[in-house]
Amino acid sequence: MNYSTVQLKHQLEESLLQLRELFQQGVSFSESFNEEMNAIREQGRLVSASGRRELVQWCDEFQLLIAELEEVESFQEFLPAEEDRMELKNWIKALTDGIEICNRRKKKEQSERRQILDILDSILDLHTEMDPVPLEELQLHAARLRSHWEYDQESRMIFECDETGVLRDFWQLLLDIRDGDYNDPESLERAVRVNDRYGLIITLQATRGQIQPKEEWRDSSSVADMVRELHFGNHNQSDNPSNGNGHPHNENAAQEDSFGLASLETLRDQSWARVKWETSAENQVNGSPQVAMCLELIGKIADFLLHHLREETRDVKGQEEQIRKGMQYLATTQSVLHQIQKKAGVLDDPEQIAAFRWIERSAAAQKLYIGRHMRIQDPAQISQLPKIKQKVEGFLEKIHKPQRIKEVLNRIESYFSAVGDDASQISYAWESVVQEIDHLLDHEKIPPSHKQLRELLIGHIDLIPEHLNESVNLQKVLSEIHRYLSNCEYEKIESSPPEYSEEVEVLAQLLRDRKVLMVGGSPRPLTEEKIREAFQLQEFVWKEAVVHSPAIQYQSIVQDPEVTLVLVLIKLVGHGHSEGIRQYCREVDKPYVLIPSGYGINHLAHDILKQRGEDLKVISTGNYEDQQF
């Protein structure tokens, strides 16, 4: 069944809702099962029969739902990779991404639908002084399609209908005749398709210029570019608002027209499409890596030029020089492509010709001199391309990296904005955020102290789920956040005396003259001293949790008889470290406290008393009878 994009989106949303409900059930089940797991670990008690049944039932529901989703033909492009299908969160992420793809696809379809309807309206506005019957019959077809597609706003058939394609060819043929491009091979191919569908008479009328609008041609650049975009499959929309006649409301409109940006965009998109084809498995026999390399570079140079042509700057001379350089890069690359194709017996490569013509027209219009590789007698060498590629890619990386980082930060913000008080939603949001943080640090190479990332996370770190998968990058970012918060706290301490809660005084009485160990984060001497003074300790030791190091390094200090209490900053240590430290504490019956929300004095006092207040009272009085930690 050929689903519309809207129908497919609704299917994805319904399936995603089922997955999230199942995930929430799993979280609730795991929380209820936690006590039985502790009993297994500490007492060796068997899991209850009801617990086993719940676990089996949940697993069966998970496998059944996944099997149903795998059988939905329309979902195949959105399924997670085969090796990732055993984790429910991967399915949730895959279907969430699928919904976003449908949203983008819907926007493009709406744009193309408007353009097709505009072409049909233009055809209905035509007339001829010759035999009117062939045109009237063609207009009847256009009117029928116009009415059908306007009524059916969701069907994708508008893009796949053969008759719609021929009507588009007919309109473009009229524009070719008007603009003097009727000798182009593409124009001749359009005439053949129109003749095959609607007959010789109307084809002759069109090619002889005997079919005209009833009043006057629309703005040539907007209509021609619109049809050209449809023909080449470029559905990208301009970011500049229009006045309804295709004229952008900005100062650079004249400059853009003179450079033919729509043609340059088409060249870029067609070059990338050719790269995919040249390197595809279907074209493995005839594909050429050298041709693909040239086409890829043409696409990147087009992006380089489009950026400079649309850039608003006061440095007009500098901008002009960059445009001239980009044109020279393009001239060299298309010349290399011409040499490669000539050796292969291909005389008319469409992208090479399009690049040559664009440079020729634009350089003449702007009076820019392109010194090399625009003549057959001055061929470029393939050895010249690596240097050009390095320069262009370096520039594009410089302008695209901040955009990519901003997109990731926006996604992180959206994850948090959609979260309420539901534990499963918070857990899912943080799992998605961890993946984005890994991408930012591993691929975009941002530092863990990145200001915008810190500002996004700082208000949410207290909600990090304890069962969250371990992430080295998240630990690095959280360490930097806590370092920043500590610096803010120092400034506050210096400007005013500390205001401690009553719990600080209570804890100080229990820990006076004792030794306390804290593991995690980055030790800071000033903070260590403040903690020691606030709790009246004899000694306070702060050990950093070194990533990928074994937990055994902490055994001797944790089991030191002089250490009364062990604090673990659970969000700043790895899961292995945390489990190892707790095991060492249990071996010697030493109390430990999991600190979830930073190491401010008041926070520490609250968490310690809440988790181990009674145990510390026993220690302070010396009554250890039947006491287990």
SS3 per residue for 372-400: CCCCCCCCCCHHHHHHHHHHHHHHHHHHH
Angle at 56 between CA 50 and CA 60, to 5 degrees: 145
> What per-residue confidence (pLDDT) applies to 603?
83
**Region 427-456: what's the mean pLDDT?**
86
Q: Name which of 213, 215, 266, 220 is nearest 245 in CA terms.
A: 220
Q: Judge whether residue 577 has pLDDT over 50.
A: yes
Grouping H, G, I as helix, E, B as strand and the rest as coil, residue 518 is: strand
Asked whether the whole model's pTM tops 0.75, one would answer: no
Q: What is the pLDDT of residues 47-64, one digit of tens each?
A: 777 777 878 888 888 888
> What per-residue confidence (pLDDT) applies to 240?
41
Cα–Cα distances in angstroms (integers) from residue 466 to residues 425, 427, 446, 545, in the given order: 14, 9, 26, 17
List 566's β-bridge partners, or say none.
517, 592
Q: What is the pLDDT of residues 210-258, one digit of tens each?
A: 998 877 675 433 434 443 444 333 333 333 433 333 333 344 444 445 5
> What per-residue confidence (pLDDT) applies to 548?
65
The β-bridge relationship of strands 211-213 and 126-128 is antiparallel
Model confidence at 392, in pLDDT bands (50, 70, 90)?
Answer: very high
Average pLDDT, the chain: 80
| Phi, psi (rounded to 5 degrees) for 155 | -65, 140
Most confident region among 368-382, 390-404, 506-520, 591-605 by mean pLDDT: 506-520
Distance CA 409, CA 407 (A): 5
Q: Judge whether residue 492 has pLDDT over 60.
A: no
Q: Judge whether residue 347 has pLDDT over 80.
A: no
**Dihedral (Cα; 305, 308, 310, 316), 10-degree rounding:** -140
Model confidence at 103, in pLDDT bands (50, 70, 90)?
Answer: confident
For residue 369, how many other CB atoms are within 10 A of its CB? 8
**Region 101-119: what's the mean pLDDT?**
79
User: How many percent of the chain have pLDDT more than 90?
Assistant: 19
**Region 293-317: what's the mean pLDDT?**
90
**Region 324-351: what's the mean pLDDT?**
90
> What per-residue confidence (pLDDT) applies to 125?
86
**Region 594-615: what's the mean pLDDT?**
85
Helix (H) or strand (E) holding 163: helix 162-179
- Let me know: does 235 contact 266? Beta carbons within 8 Å: no
- Let me know: does 123 contact 171? Beta carbons within 8 Å: yes
**Region 585-613: what's the mean pLDDT?**
87
> What per-residue confidence (pLDDT) applies to 234?
39
Most confident region among 17-21, 156-160, 363-367, 403-407 by mean pLDDT: 403-407
